[in-house]
Structure 1
């Protein structure tokens, strides 16, 4: 089942794939990582359906099957995703699966957007699950990692400013990303906060959002300190579960879990059964 949403004054058309489950009470909305297309989440969606959840997957604007590609004319940042894209996606979920509770499941960048949405909507009853995601402040890494993160941020911003977008496929990081998004992402590497986005974010003490964060062992893209730094935006004492990577050590744990998502789904299901519907 396929639908679509229009984003940024209909500049972008973003296909949405719906996976129904029988007698589901919750609908899991999957928000992808930077440079990872929605079709990469098909196995995760199937396992979630098998666990009894409806699922929605989509590409970020201009990524995967969404057109047009970002460039000098087509641009957006974190704030538009939080204030426009995600609310529209929630409406698509409501239209296809009425009388079910939505759950945001964000991977990496998707976890950033889900968390910021929760911080901007502290009374929201939409639970948040973050997988392999974190605040990219350089202080959340040790050793050479403290130099690598801001260096990558500087390089990405330089390339995006030069080409009008990040040519992620050429450098092996991200996809065809909008320059404003990369600027928003990169500034966090230096500041550790999201004040530059202009969003009104409530303090964790005011949040009523239930959240779970899953950190994958040996994930150098989102180490435990980074995951905690993001989770603390909406929970003073966040719930963080650590899982071993289900794939061989030579595969990057940050995304390799998508090839065998059963452990993540079991963890999510065990948490969701504790929450009221």
Structure 2
């Protein structure tokens, strides 16, 4: 009988380090995260003690999502160790290790470090500010919301994009300050930022976005999916003719994938209203 040999933690570590941010590297990291045994925690701790920043970043990335899925619920493993390692590396000398630790504190929220995370929102490194915009989506305290609002006006497009997504789609509150921040980004020069702002306003059923949705749908051959999702959430039948016209324009496209299926679903939803 043949037995399948699973990659060892050592081989997975080497793969993860060889080409940082490649698909192979992240597959190895995900495989390490699923090995919920004390040896994996020891490995992460050893990597985090390294003088090499790439090894420290890997250790942080492993411990940040070490756990397993039980049905639809994620069960974290090594909670105390994760708290220690992630908070420790908020003071790491390398910005990418700090960013990884902040992202990890989004996956594993610990309220006692919220102020330290928020303090990084003005850091000069965009990777760190991006990590803050990501992590604070998992904290509901007023400080978290206020910090994300500030980041929606960040000078970096990706930071502004993620902060707008966090504010619009992850933050459950609906306040005038949140609405005002989203409206500020509706006409952002970056299309991704604008789309996330409209998606967030659709979540809040702000009818003022209907003219913006009509303008997008009338002047595009294939808009971003979040515009279609916003149209469905608003449920406004006046959008239906534009959606049908969009379907006619893209009917001959060879690649009928997620976007086309979503368009069909939105049309069906509005027709059923």
TM (norm. structure 2) is: 0.26
Q: Which has the higher strand share?
A: 1
Q: Which has the higher helix share?
A: 2
> Highest CA radius of gyration, 1 or 2?
2
TM (norm. structure 1) is: 0.26
